[in-house]
Amino acid sequence: MTPHARIRGAALIVLATLGGCDIVAGYDRLTLRDSAHVTWSTALTGSGDASVRVLGATSAGTILAAGTFEGDLQLGAATLGTKGTTSAFVALLSREGAVQQLGALESTAVARPLAASGSKLAGIFTGELVTQAGTLATATGDDALFLLDVSATSGAIESARALGGAGFVSPEQKLDLAVDSAGNTLLGGSYGGSLTFSGCAPYPAKTKPNLFLAKLDKAGMCLWSIQNDDGAPQRIESVAVDGLNDFVVVGGEFVGKLEFAGMPVLQNSGGVDLFIARFDAEGTAQWSRSFGNGLAHGGARVAAAPGGYSALVAWFDGTLDFGAGPLVATRGHDLVVANFRPNGQLEWQKQLAIVRPACDLTTCEFDDVRAMFDPEGNLVVSSAFRGSVSIDGVSLGTTDDAAGYLLAKFDRSGHLLWSGHFGDANDDCSERGHCELALTIDAERNVYLGGSFNGALDFSAVVHDGALSNAPLFAEDGRDAFLAKFLR
């Protein structure tokens, strides 16, 4: 096993597979029970802050990455400049990390990528959404959703649509998407004001954020939509589709009551409750469940696997029962990983105990959580954390004032295959309230992570022959973005 060569803008690091052993060097601590290692990592640097916010693995084997930046941005040999305060970027990379395309998205005030699946990209913008080639879409309201089809081979934007209608606003900027086997798009999130998708009934006007879910065909026409007409704040945070049977899973948070046609009403417990719901390919609700105890929970992410299984990963506080007995958070919010059978009954659950300063909705935002099944039905979970985290007896830790990023993989029965963390000893993203994180998995089970960092992002590890590889990424000015590939 030999490390790859170092290329401009990227530190390429190879970690060894030492089944059942701890690998410790510098900041990094990996416990591997399967074949897994970092094969490359790269920084997106510039004169201001930058962050990778969403990732998609395309059918051509390339990786779609999108995020935000200020000033200018450099990825490899490609450089972008922004005309405004903050712009968005869209990049296409090979599975080896080579940059194939890097372009900017500009708007009057906001252009923010929020979701990606395969080669589709969605987000919000105001005014006109433009690239160097010209205007892509024009908003008809204060805010608009954009939906882009990006070429999986060239990175060119092949089509662009503005969605939402004249009265649409996005007060929470909550949006996610998934793509079914026929190329239809499942788009879910929260909205304020009004919301309209061509082909479906308009959503009721709301003064507080409310949830939406719509299935759009390749031409952008709405095939069906799901709404809940309640006056309390509600949101869909995450959408997933089983590519074999095209069942749809959504997850999020709600206050008030939540009712999907044909399902029992989910009644809020008095705090901010979690929910997960499954629909068939025609939009018929199959089951829904909620979890609450009067406290605030959040960051819900869902995943869907062939065979009908679904997963929910979220931050929870206090004592909460997901179906296999109560879980008790250690101090503040812990992570729960819950895997559900096709009928909605719990298959297995895991508690990832975080020892960190208490966090609730009145004092800080929840760090991003990401979850996705690989092609074999194993569940990959990632999140930012500060302090220490325990996963099936494996302890991962950071300093009290630094942010770490955990990565764990569970098999179909919930057994931990491997876990690890990496991070930046000078990072303050938890202190400032939020750490961004993006995740995707390709057809060969490789895992890609993206986000932002502040100082030196350390992926150090001992390689198989005992030699030490220590090549962190360094931020040049402010917060820079990162992208890393983990094999298997």
3-state secondary structure the chain: CCCCCCECCEECCCCCCCCCEEEEECCEEEEECCCCEEEEEEEEEECCCEEEEEEEECCCCCEEEEEEECCEEEECCEEEECCCCCEEEEEEECCCCCEEEEEEEECCCCEEEEEEECCEEEEEECCEEEECCEEEEECCCCCEEEEEEECCCCCCEEEEEEEECCCEECCCCCEEEEECCCCCEEEEEEEEEEEECCCCCCEEEEEEEEEEEEEECCCCCEEEEEECCCCCCEEEEEEEECCCCCCEEEEEEECCEECCCCCCCEECCCCEEEEEEEECCCCCEEEEEEECCCCECEEEEEEEECCCEEEEEEEECCEEECCCCEEECCECCEEEEEEECCCCCEEEEEEEEEECCCCCCCCCCCCCEEEEECCCCCEEEEEEECCEEEECCEEEECCCCCEEEEEEEECCCCCEEEEEEEEECCCCCCCCCCCCEEEEECCCCCEEEEEEECCEEECCEECCCCCEECCCEECCCCCEEEEEEEEC
pLDDT at 142: 85
For the segment 219-238, what is each residue's pLDDT rounded down to a tens digit? Answer: 999 999 999 989 999 999 99
pLDDT at 415: 93
pLDDT at 12: 27
For the segment 61-120, what is each residue's pLDDT rounded down to a tens digit? Answer: 999 999 999 889 999 889 998 766 679 999 999 999 999 999 999 998 889 999 999 999
For the segment 320-352, what is each residue's pLDDT rounded down to a tens digit? Answer: 999 999 999 987 889 999 999 999 999 999 999
pLDDT at 236: 98
pLDDT at 11: 29
pLDDT at 359: 56
pLDDT at 30: 42
Answer for the pair 371, 352: CB distance below 8 angstroms, yes or no: no
pLDDT at 85: 65
Residue 229: count of CB within 10 angstroms of its CB: 9
pLDDT at 278: 97
CA geometry: angle 57, 58, 64, nearest 5 deg: 65
Spans of the chain below 70 pLDDT = 1-36, 83-85, 356-364, 398-403, 425-433, 459-471
Instruction: Classify domain 19-487 by CATH architecture.
Output: 7 Propeller (2.130)
pLDDT at 214: 98
User: What's this model's pTM, rounded to 2 decimal places?
Assistant: 0.90
pLDDT at 425: 67
